[in-house]
Amino acid sequence: MASGGREASAVADGGREASAVAGEGLGTGEVAAGGRGTADLGARLPDAAGEGHGPGDGPAEGQGTADSAGKRHGTADAGAEGDDPADADVLPRLLDSVLRRIDSVLAGESARWTAVDPRCAAFVDAVTAITVAKGKLLRPRFCLLGHLAAGGDPGSADAVDAAAALELLHSFALLRDDVLDDSPLRRGAVTAHERHADDHRARGLRGEPRRYGEGVANLAADLSHVYADRLTRRLSEPARAVWDETRVEVTVGQYLDIAVAAEGVADPDLSRWIAVCKSGRYTIHRPLQLGATIAGRPDLADAFEAYGLPLGEAFQLRDDLIDAFGDSENTGKPTGLDFAQFKMSYLLSLAVRRDERIRELAAAPAGPEAAARMRALLIESGVADDVERRIAHLVEQARQAVAEAPLVSRWRDELMDLTASVAYRDR
């Protein structure tokens, strides 16, 4: 299975400058109806203690042995390992190792289960299809950056395995999310539940095609989750605790997302918490923390939280703007699915609190004409511009959080540069 379908290059910068806009539009205090700042959201997330596990899969191809716990507790500086300009391609190389690791696991599993019964090929391939599709690799990237910025060994097999596990965890979340949202496309391809429902119809199988397709996709999501967890078995107990909390948070966040959407609750503070739980922690904060913990630097948890939560909030706000105003050809998935149904996203929950016309429209039956009117109101009311200013403010918060953190300078700069790519993307 070739990894050429995925790019290990950095997320393309949308070419937009991210400047701080403190005190304007949707400022820090204005967004949180309950008066909680970004960092305070952690109070609503209980940390669970991790448990030790036995040996997992072997080291990734071409990787050395794992770092021992506590190996690098000293403060990293500009002269620390990882600043060698001659090794400028270390991050792309590590991302390539992650892709090879994933390909090796999935190819081996496909061959193993196809030998049991040929039907299993399509099942395992449901995981493979979404995992090897062209994605941004944000979670593996942040995991590896957390490891390198903490002064971790670039040859760590555990860091590569953890990064690969995060991407497979993301495949689990996407497979499940597509079923929950009834999305027909993902990354430019037909979603797993739609593909298997179509296969059911074409073959004239018994039962209901929709239930069959959703059943296969949900089971494939579980399979991807199992593969992800197996890759973390060799991690230290502190690293496993971070991994376990990541899985709990993304699952609880997804539940609250569908519960709030079903109830039509317009609560910006709750929507913000869901966004931070699903995006800030799962996409940025926890991967960084996981990488740093593998490097023996659990002391960096606070700095990475202060970076990841505001950047994750910006990530989700951009996601909501893309859903409202984006182009499906750029995103590889249908835009406007949530928006056309007036799902109480973070963006819409902010908007209904700001403008009575939006609030009245959101309470009315949804549809194409109503969605078009809602887009116009978001612009006319200034909410869209205020959200852009809020994003810029959050990006500056994230940059400030790592500016003085005890990190390897080269990788600190990478984290600061990545803020614009995350917050100002078009897909």
Q: DSSP 3-state assignment of 133?
A: coil
Mean pLDDT of the chain: 80
**How confident is the model over 293-336, as pLDDT tens digits?**
999 999 999 999 999 999 999 998 998 899 888 876 665 556 56
342-398 pLDDT tens trace: 777 888 888 888 889 988 888 887 778 888 898 999 999 998 999 999 999 999 999
Task: Give the Cα separation of 409 and 82 in Å (integer).
Answer: 9
CA 209 to chain centre: 30
Q: 3-state DSSP call for residue 414? A: helix
- Can you give the pLDDT at residue 46? 39
pLDDT at 4: 39
Report the distance separating Cα 73 and Cα 220, nearest Å.
39
- pLDDT confidence band for 166 (50 / 70 / 90): very high
Judge contact between 8 and 95, C-beta under 8 A.
Answer: yes
Alpha helices in 182-295 (DSSP H): 192-203, 209-230, 237-263, 268-275, 286-294
Report pLDDT for 410: 95
The answer to whether residue 145 scores a pLDDT higher than 70 is yes
Alpha carbon 307 to its chain's center: 15
pLDDT at residue number 52: 35
Handedness of CA 84, 312, 250, 221 (dihedral sign): negative
Percentage of residues in the chain having pLDDT higher than 90: 53
For position 29, what pLDDT does the model report?
A: 32
pLDDT of residue 9: 39
Between the alpha carbon of residue 392 and those of residues 31, 275, 283, the distances in Å are 14, 17, 19
- With 0-12 / 13-18 / 19 or more C-beta atoms within 10 angstroms meaning exposed / middle / buried, residue 362 is buried
User: Is the torsion defined by CA of 389, 395, 399, 401 positive or negative?
Assistant: positive
Instruction: Name the residue among 145, 169, 414, 167 with its Cα closest to residue 291.
Output: 145
